[in-house]
Structure 1
Amino acid sequence: MPHSSAVESRVLLKRLQTALAEPLGADAGQRRLDRITAIVAEGLAAEVCSIYLRRGADLELSATTGLNPQAVHLIRMRVREGLVGRIAHTAEPINTKDAPRTRGFQYFPETGEEIFASFLGVPIQRLGEVLGVLVVQNQTPRDYTDDEVHGLEVVAMVIAEMAEFGVFTGTSETDVPGPHALPYYTKGVIGQEGVAEGHVLMHDPQVAISNPVADDPAAEQARLAEALEGIRAEIDEMLGADYLADGGEHREVLNAWRMFAHDKGWVRRMQASIDAGLAAEVAVEREQSETRARMSRVTDMYLRERLHDLDDLSNRLLRRLTGAANHNGDIPEDAILVARNIGPGELLDYGRALKGVVLEEGSVGSHAAIVARALAIPLVIQADRITREAVAGDHILVDGDQGLIHLRPEDNVAEAFRAKIDMAAEAQEAYAALRDKPAVSRDGIRVALHMNAGLMADLPSLVPSGAEGVGLYRTELQFLVRRTVPKRSDLAALYSKILSSAGDKPVTFRTLDIGSDKVLPYMKRDPEPNPALGWRAIRVGLDRKGVMRMQLQAMLRAANGRPLRVMFPFVAQFDEFREARAHLLDEVERERKLGHPVPDSLKIGAMLETPSLAFAPDQFFEMADFISIGGNDLKQFFFAADRENERVRRRYDTLNVSFLTFIEQIAARCDGHDTPVSFCGEDAGRPVEALAFIAMGLRNLSMRPASIGPVKRMIRNTDVGEARDVINRARRSGEQSVRKELMAWINARGIPVA
């Protein structure tokens, strides 16, 4: 096939299809690979055709026509090694008529390839993952044409699809392992603690096509055209909706989808793949694979977002072609959702039907992580290759306490995991017995334990957890999961239900904390070099007074004469708190003049999340009715370590001497002004860290509901005075952290901390 055309490509694919359908005996996998190399070599008038497949981190020569057959399964190379390794690394073809002089060339004498000058290699890839490399070679110098490159890429795509379908699987040691058959283990990042065992529910469409070759190209073109028209109409309908009239980021995404859906180059490439012999779904996947390969090489965030938009659009197109939806309501009882990424609204759609969530991307501060924490669903993020390895229905173990994922686990792993679940269940029974008992240490220190919340669904946990109230209610979730600004009346009704559900227990509402990693879909976002230190939280509220005013009015009306506690987030300066407090008091006076009932008790506080606020004037501590230390943000600013950055965030220990001394100073300053102070954040729910905070003088902690039991049990079994003595000795020793000495004392005393 020296002048490869679309028609000739289809002829080549038909020959492959026929050959691969033949029964070939016990070693069918190897025989099929051998048949492919022979057919492709003949079709492209090549003297050599070789297939290199990934085996772990290596590429193995798995089949060849033209090279030394003794080298098959013996030659292995690392990714980036030689021309083949370079193709695997870049996911881009190499076409040269002088291979020995091409950058990266490496000679393997066992193959006998020294006589072949011309070289054309293309990646065998599926959905952005390179599974191997397909190569043709000739002795005489030869420029392979664009048609020949395209034809070889089409064959490589078919090989990838057939590998996914298990066509090359065999039983011998040299055979390709069956796809999605072996156990898979990966360590991700903890998004929400907890453990779960269940079966995989895939969020994104999975397409494994037994016949990737188009029997009727015209019919496949018609299917593609119909699917494209469908998504174009769907996007236009969403763009025409009233809730997008004011623009915002959501509209920008839809406009990007619309642009790509009408992009002639994108459509033309998929049509060309169908003309070359691929089924419509495979043509879309081929284009999606190349998009994901480009995505991995792009560092510009704007371009990466646009490539993400194109990837999402390809998923929508695949759903239309396959008739699949995100999920059809038939969610298994033990479903664990696996996705590349997911929005907060989509996660809420699944709700508590899920036992766990595993994401290939995401961050600890993402909207999905916030929702998972609110729903108390174990979440692991940045789980490498999980969407590639997992198949719907796979047995999966999620250890959110350590960020571990076991897919298709071996029996001994599953048994050990179930033992951990049983131990956790036994511990929960012990915590339940402490529900109505106070958190008082052996030396008489009384600690108030409150829970964090962000959804109405959290409130049923208030009584069973033993929490004394809601120390932090995150109001931004109601804004994040909607496409428009919520109405004041809707917020007032929601806040009223929250107060009613809490009964006589206090609820502290934090005003809208947006910006940084929490961006509203309808709010235009200006690029910032460092969003965590940028326009966020109270800064947004003071600049956009209309939104703050509306939310404060909703809270006042929800209280309807009942006590109300309001807290402003991310206060860095006294003036910010003074101004925000004045706005709230103005709204109280306005409500009174309108004849509306006002709270019979109003407490106004601030979150101390920046070191600067700890050194505010005395007047701040006198004016604030209460202060909540926002541990998650404060720690990252104190250590200058982004909590989203895995390379640095784990280098800094909460029990660092400097940080504990800082917490001690804050507690002492608040005590000096009789200002109640609490610690709110993930560390408050970790018994060892909680003990250190109590020893530093804190008497109020706010955490997720599931952490209250372990922390209360620890407090009731501890002498805080002794713990403080241990910490002071460790501080005097010059050690950077007190953890080692504190843990040694805890273990010696047999204090339960898990």
Structure 2
Amino acid sequence: MPERTESESRKLLRRLRDTLAERGAGQERLDRITHLIADSIQSDVCSIYLFRDSDTLELCATEGLKAESVHQTRLKLGEGLVGRVAKTAAPINTGDAPSERGFRYMPETGEEKYSSFLGVPIQRLGETLGVLVVQSKHSRKFSDDEVYALEVVAMVLAEMTELGAFIGEGEALAALHQHAVVFRGATGQEGAAEGRVWLHEPRVVITNPVADDPKAEHARLHAAVDQLRISVDDLLATTSGADKEQMQVLEAYRMFANSRGWMRRMEEDIARGLSAEAAVEKEQSLTRARMGQVPDPYLRERLHDLDDLSNRLLRILTGQGSETGAEMPDNPVLVARNIGPGELLAYGRKLKGVVLEEGSVGSHAAIVARALAIPLVIHAARITTEALNGDSILVDGDQGIVHLRPEETISSAFRDKIAMQAKAQERYAGLRDQPATAKCGTTVSLHMNAGLMADLPSLEGSGAEGVGLFRTELQFLIRNKVPRRGELAALYARVLDAANGRRVVFRTLDIGSDKVLPYMKRQDEPNPALGWRAIRVGLDKPGVMTMQLQALIRAANGRPLAVMFPFVAQYEEFVAARDHLLRQIERERELGHVLPEKLEIGAMLETPSLAFAPRKFFELADFVSIGGNDLKQFFFAADRENELVRRRYDTLNVSFLRFIEQIVARCAETDTPLSFCGEDAGRPVEALCLAAMGLRMLSMRPASVGPVKHLIRRVNLVEARKVIEAAEEAGEQSVRPAMMNWLAGGAGQG
């Protein structure tokens, strides 16, 4: 067969472009494409397989196999040569397919004994969406130019697949992104919101993958790269005061922007028929593929730099993204693959909600979303592909569900839900100045969690009696270098001023696990949640802890100060941390600074081991706070970042409540004040059960204070305790059903 010329390759791409532009339903497009490719490559068969789910490929179109096998023939990932291409994301080109490892004959397709096989992955930016296959009866390996042509066609197919060109009965691409779609993710932060989509980093849509004029495309590419290099030089100039390590990273960034190899590869792609945008994305896809294969974290980070440069270059070429000047809607719901804490804080409280494709319940974004009281849904797969700026969107953070472009009936029901929640909040506002006193006469002290100055106004409005947990790590996470002692002292002083005499418990820096400082070298740990984190980092690297403790002492300026050390696992750790704080008190005394009027030193009980610490620990600690989120995951050995297991274990499990009761008893022996911090403290039924087990102080997000107070005031905790004990005696695993039945029966309303 004659060697294919570049002009013929470009001709194939032009024919593909024209085919995609024709009107017709999705299946018609696929059928026309397979016919076009088979004719152009002069192969007996051309087939397109797309993923039906994460593990199953489905034959979606074919030229040369039985038409009735379309949408009926399926392969598992790794099954047959097609499955191997999908699993490895690498082409297979062979002149003797039956002798290849893993070959599978599929008689249901009417497949003959085709000797030649070429399969290339249909992938975009590292994500494999399917496989494009050509086959011939006579034995031959397809030429490099034919492989290249198929890879480019596969890239265009991937782009069109993500845009939805092959689904439904739409007449043209312009008709896409108009239907209602429901995304089922996971709860990152509870709450409900209605608004309009604001894409944090809008996906660059390439609508012109094929170009007729290579010279014009070369000129466009060079102009865009020149603009990119100027922007990188400006970035370096504005960060000239950065530390040496940061400057090295930025210099590497500039090196990539000036890479001749990167430029040469894109120019070659343009010469073979691609537009400038498609050439950039082709190289970006190769970079993404390499990122997944490189074990070295430093090299992975450098490849990430190249990936980021490609995104910048694509935005310059297409005019998409922030450069378009699009205005944020009045009621924005942020939609993104993922987002850092600093970026989310920059948006602030103007956001109505946040929806992420990635993220986790303990991620920086989730922490900030809780601090800002913004509904957050995570793991909303592929929403950035479907959503467009300005689309109507409903966020149900309670259920982890997102409605994009919802029908009016759905919107109406959702608005009713929001209105009911608002009415309930009005009712709770009337309880603001009332104590959380149960019908049995027991009073539970309700406090709020905070981490930002923006949280403090809620202290007055929520009815919280104080701040049971002020997270100090956010001020470290949102900066690109360690904050200065004076900056922290000023911030902590403003927190105490805003509290207006109410008690504030400052938790010292809780980093590690899912919270990694951007300027701190990440430790490569097999299980970070059980690794070098929180107090362990503070004791091993005391410099930052010393600076933070000094800032807290100076912020108090004669006022009471409560300091809590996180993730204390054994008595000796608490002793060491406490001694460290007392040394700083003595140092401040020697310097002539004003000392706190009263000093409380406490610990967070987040590991089961601390519940069994020697009695001396409970005697020495001025207070103990149960960190419910971590304690529960360690108690049940269930990673709270793992969606497969985290919902399996109930806080109201009888064994967990009995463990809480043991902690209450140990603290009671030494009159050590005990509180419970965490998401469960803010859920009314869970809060009721914790109070029934003996806890007299709960700390939660501000919006939860009202609902928790409302429920506690209408029940008898002694009776609630009897319900728990009866469920245990009956052999129930969880007391939740019994408690819900008791409450539904009008408990405490008489």
Same fold (TM over 0.5): yes
Counterpart for residue 403 of structure 1:
400
Q: Which amino acid aligns with 1:600?
A: E
Residues 358, 383 of structure 1: 8 Å contact kept: yes
Query: CA distance change for structure 1 residues 193 and 116 in 2, over 3 Å: closer, same or farther?
Result: same
Counterpart for residue 149 of structure 1:
147
Aligned-partner Cα distance in 1 for 2:400–2:46? 43
Residues 77, 85 of structure 1: 8 Å contact kept: no
Q: Which amino acid aligns with 1:593?
A: E
Superposed displacement of residue 90, structure 1: 4.2
**SS of aligned partner of 2:429:** helix
Counterpart for residue 728 of structure 1:
725
The match for 2:157 among 132, 148, 159 is 159
Query: CA distance change for structure 1 residues 213 and 704 in 2, over 3 Å: closer, same or farther?
Result: same
1:279 matched to 2:275: yes
Give 1:556-705 correspondences, 5 Å limit.
Answer: 556-705=553-702
Counterpart for residue 473 of structure 1:
470
Give 1:148-297 correspondences, 5 Å limit.
Answer: 148-162=146-160, 171=169, 179-232=176-229, 234-235=231-232, 238=235, 241-242=239-240, 244-247=242-245, 254=250, 257=253, 260-261=256-257, 266-292=262-288
Counterpart for residue 497 of structure 1:
494
Counterpart for residue 459 of structure 1:
456
Q: Number of paired residues?
A: 745
Query: CA distance change for structure 1 residues 5 and 352 in 2, over 3 Å: closer, same or farther?
Result: farther
Counterpart for residue 353 of structure 1:
350
What TM-score comes out, normalization by structure 1 length? Answer: 0.90
**SS of aligned partner of 2:583:** helix
Query: CA distance change for structure 1 residues 281 and 613 in 2, over 3 Å: closer, same or farther?
Result: same
Deviates more, 1:42-51 or 1:544-553: 42-51
For each residue in 1:695-725, what CA deviation from the matched residue of structure 2 results, as whole angstroms up to 9, or x when unmatched?
1111000011111111111101110000111
Query: CA distance change for structure 1 residues 544 and 268 in 2, over 3 Å: closer, same or farther?
Result: same
Aligned-partner Cα distance in 2 for 1:387–1:78? 28
Query: CA distance change for structure 1 residues 235 and 633 in 2, over 3 Å: closer, same or farther?
Result: farther
Residues 59, 78 of structure 1: 8 Å contact kept: yes
Q: Which amino acid aligns with 1:699?
A: R
1:10 matched to 2:24: no
**SS of aligned partner of 1:333:** coil
Counterpart for residue 443 of structure 2:
446
**SS of aligned partner of 1:159:** helix
Aligned-partner Cα distance in 1 for 2:469–2:576? 21
Aligned-partner Cα distance in 2 for 1:539–1:82? 50
Aligned-partner Cα distance in 2 for 1:529–1:169? 41
Deviates more, 1:296-305 or 1:630-639: 296-305
Residues 188, 397 of structure 2: 8 Å contact kept: yes
For each residue in 1:638-690, what CA deviation from the matched residue of structure 2 results, as whole angstroms up to 9, or x when unmatched?
22222112233223221222221221121122122222110011111111111
The match for 1:507 among 460, 481, 504 is 504
Give 1:495-574 correspondences, 5 Å limit.
Answer: 495-574=492-571
Superposed displacement of residue 114, structure 1: 0.9
Query: CA distance change for structure 1 residues 609 and 741 in 2, over 3 Å: closer, same or farther?
Result: same
Residues 60, 75 of structure 1: 8 Å contact kept: yes
Aligned-partner Cα distance in 1 for 2:625–2:26? 63
The match for 1:484 among 481, 485, 489 is 481
Residues 166, 178 of structure 1: 8 Å contact kept: no
Counterpart for residue 96 of structure 1:
94
Superposed displacement of residue 295, structure 1: 5.8
Deviates more, 1:393-402 or 1:27-36: 27-36
Aligned-partner Cα distance in 2 for 1:518–1:528? 13
Residues 451, 703 of structure 1: 8 Å contact kept: yes
1:322 matched to 2:318: yes
Superposed displacement of residue 594, structure 1: 2.9
Q: Which amino acid aligns with 1:457?
A: A
Query: CA distance change for structure 1 residues 617 and 251 in 2, over 3 Å: closer, same or farther?
Result: farther
Residues 195, 352 of structure 2: 8 Å contact kept: yes
Counterpart for residue 118 of structure 2:
120
1:139 matched to 2:137: yes
Aligned-partner Cα distance in 2 for 1:170–1:332? 30
For each residue in 1:537-560, what CA deviation from the matched residue of structure 2 results, as whole angstroms up to 9, or x when unmatched?
222222322212221221222222
Superposed displacement of residue 343, structure 1: 0.9
Residues 25, 170 of structure 2: 8 Å contact kept: no
Aligned-partner Cα distance in 2 for 1:559–1:746? 44
Aligned-partner Cα distance in 2 for 1:469–1:9? 70
The match for 2:708 among 686, 704, 711 is 711
**SS of aligned partner of 1:273:** helix
Residues 2, 148 of structure 1: 8 Å contact kept: no
What TM-score comes out, normalization by structure 2 length? Answer: 0.91
Deviates more, 1:514-523 or 1:726-735: 726-735
**SS of aligned partner of 1:729:** helix
Question: Identical aligned pairs, as a percentage?
Answer: 66
Superposed displacement of residue 467, structure 1: 0.7
Counterpart for residue 366 of structure 2:
369
**SS of aligned partner of 2:727:** helix
Aligned-partner Cα distance in 1 for 2:406–2:53? 18
Query: CA distance change for structure 1 residues 340 and 575 in 2, over 3 Å: closer, same or farther?
Result: same
**SS of aligned partner of 2:314:** helix
Query: CA distance change for structure 1 residues 33 and 364 in 2, over 3 Å: closer, same or farther?
Result: closer
Aligned-partner Cα distance in 1 for 2:29–2:643? 44
Aligned-partner Cα distance in 1 for 2:261–2:748? 66
Q: CA RMSD in A?
A: 3.1
Aligned-partner Cα distance in 2 for 1:32–1:725? 67
Superposed displacement of residue 134, structure 1: 3.0
Aligned-partner Cα distance in 2 for 1:93–1:736? 52
Residues 716, 748 of structure 2: 8 Å contact kept: no
Superposed displacement of residue 257, structure 1: 4.4
Aligned-partner Cα distance in 2 for 1:689–1:530? 29
Superposed displacement of residue 497, structure 1: 1.2
Residues 87, 122 of structure 1: 8 Å contact kept: yes
Query: CA distance change for structure 1 residues 36 and 89 in 2, over 3 Å: closer, same or farther?
Result: same
For each residue in 1:583-618, what CA deviation from the matched residue of structure 2 results, as whole angstroms up to 9, or x when unmatched?
323333333333332222222222112222222233
Superposed displacement of residue 374, structure 1: 0.8
Aligned-partner Cα distance in 1 for 2:164–2:524? 46
**SS of aligned partner of 2:454:** helix
Deviates more, 1:523-532 or 1:323-332: 323-332
Aligned-partner Cα distance in 2 for 1:429–1:712? 13
**SS of aligned partner of 2:715:** coil
Superposed displacement of residue 625, structure 1: 1.7
Q: What are structure 1's unaligned runs of at least 5 residues?
A: none
Superposed displacement of residue 220, structure 1: 2.4
